[in-house]
Amino acid sequence: MPAVRILPLVTGRLDVDMRIFSGEEGRGTLPVLSCLVEHPEGLVLFDTGLHPELTHDNSRLGRLSRSFGMDFTDDDTVAAKLESVGVRPSDVTHTVVSHLHFDHAGGLTCLPDTRLVVQADEWAAGQDAQAIEQGIYQPADYDLGHDRLEVDGDHDLFGDGSVRCLPTPGHTAGHQSLVVELPSGPVVLCGDCVYTEQLLDEMRTPGFGHDREEQLRSMQTLRELRDDGHRLLYGHDAEQVAALPAGGLV
Ligand SMILES: [Zn+2]
C-alpha cells in the first residue's frame, strides 16, 4: 500500500437546535469536518465545509438560515485551513463530497481547479426543483462547472485500493463515505451517514433525512466495518474532533 496520511480540518462550527440533530433538548455546537487525504498520486479532499460568504452573511441559506448559527471566520474556510497545512487549493486534485448539503459542498467555490467526485444519485438529487425550493440543496454551492466524475456505487480513486468511495445512502439519496487504507489500518470518513459515535452506538437517526430505513442500513454497514477494525471519523462529533492528533492520522 502507498504511504497515505489523513489530515482532519475543522472548517468552522455550526450552532444548531439539537432536537433536529440528535433528538436532545437545547442548542449545541458542532464541528464541520473536512479531511485532506495525502496520496503519492494526488491530494484528495473529503468534503469542503461552508461557503466563505457565511462568515458574514447567512442569507444564502434561505429557509435554513433560521435553523443554523455559524461560528465561522475567514480563518475557518477550507481554503484557509488548507493553507494552514501548506496546501494551495489548486493543489487539491480530487474533491470527494459525501453529499451536497451546504456544510459539505459550500467550500467548492474555493477549489475551482479540482476534480469533483460525487455519486450520480446525489448529483441528480441536487438538481431536484422541490428540494432546491425547500433549501435542502443550493446549486450555487456546487453547480459551478467543475470537472466532475459522477460515480455509480463503489469507486477506487487511484486504482490501488487505498482510497475508495463507499456508497452510504439514506441521509441523502446519493450519500457516500470514503475508505482510506493507512499504514496503521483502515479508516472510514463517514460524512453525515452518522454524525457522532453516540448516534451510531444507539442506532439513532436525525429527525430529517432522505430515507431513514436506508440510512439505518448504511449505519449498520459502518458498524460492521468498525467491528472489523476500521476506525471511523464521524461527520460532526465534537468529542472525537477534540481528541484528534495534531499531526493527523498515519
Ligand atoms: Zn447533511
pLDDT of the chain along its 250 residues, tens only? 778 999 999 999 999 988 878 888 889 999 999 999 999 999 999 999 999 999 999 999 988 888 889 999 999 999 999 999 999 999 999 999 999 999 999 999 999 999 999 999 999 999 999 999 999 999 999 999 999 999 999 999 999 999 999 999 999 999 999 999 999 999 999 999 999 999 999 999 987 899 999 999 999 999 999 999 999 999 999 999 999 998 999 9
Enumerate residues 6+ apart whose C-beta is below 8 A from 73. 12, 55
The pLDDT score that the predictor gives to residue 19 is 83
Q: Is residue 248 included in any domain, yes or no?
A: no
Q: Is residue 50 included in any domain, yes or no?
A: yes
Domain count, the chain: 1
Q: Is residue 181 included in any domain, yes or no?
A: yes
The pLDDT score that the predictor gives to residue 63 is 84
Which helix (H) or strand (E) segment holds residue 28: the answer is strand 27-39
Q: What is the dihedral of CA 144, 94, 33, 145, to 10 degrees?
A: 0
Burial 191-222 (b: 16+ CB within 10 A, else e): bbbbbbbebbeeebbbeeebbeebbeebbebb
CA 3 to centroid of ligand 1, rounded, Å: 30
- CATH number of the domain where residue 20 is located: 3.60.15.10
Q: Is residue 247 included in any domain, yes or no?
A: no
CA 59 to centroid of ligand 1, rounded, Å: 18
The pLDDT score that the predictor gives to residue 125 is 98
Enumerate residues 6+ apart whose C-beta is below 8 A from 125. 100, 131, 137, 172, 173, 174, 210
CA 93 to centroid of ligand 1, rounded, Å: 23
CA 99 to centroid of ligand 1, rounded, Å: 7
Q: Cell numbers at residue 120, please?
A: 450520480
Q: Is residue 54 included in any domain, yes or no?
A: yes
Q: Is residue 43 included in any domain, yes or no?
A: yes
At 193, give phi and psi (nearest 5°).
-55, -35
CA 194 to centroid of ligand 1, rounded, Å: 9
How far apart are the C-alpha atoms of 163 and 44, rounded to whole Å?
Answer: 9
Q: Is residue 249 included in any domain, yes or no?
A: no
CA 101 to centroid of ligand 1, rounded, Å: 5
Q: Is residue 250 included in any domain, yes or no?
A: no
Cα→Cα distances 204→20, 106, 117, 196, 246, Å: 12, 26, 28, 10, 30
CA 244 to centroid of ligand 1, rounded, Å: 22
The pLDDT score that the predictor gives to residue 67 is 84
The pLDDT score that the predictor gives to residue 204 is 93
The pLDDT score that the predictor gives to residue 20 is 79
The parent domain of residue 164 ranges over 5-238
Q: Cell numbers at residue 200, please?
A: 451510531
List beta partners, residue 80: none
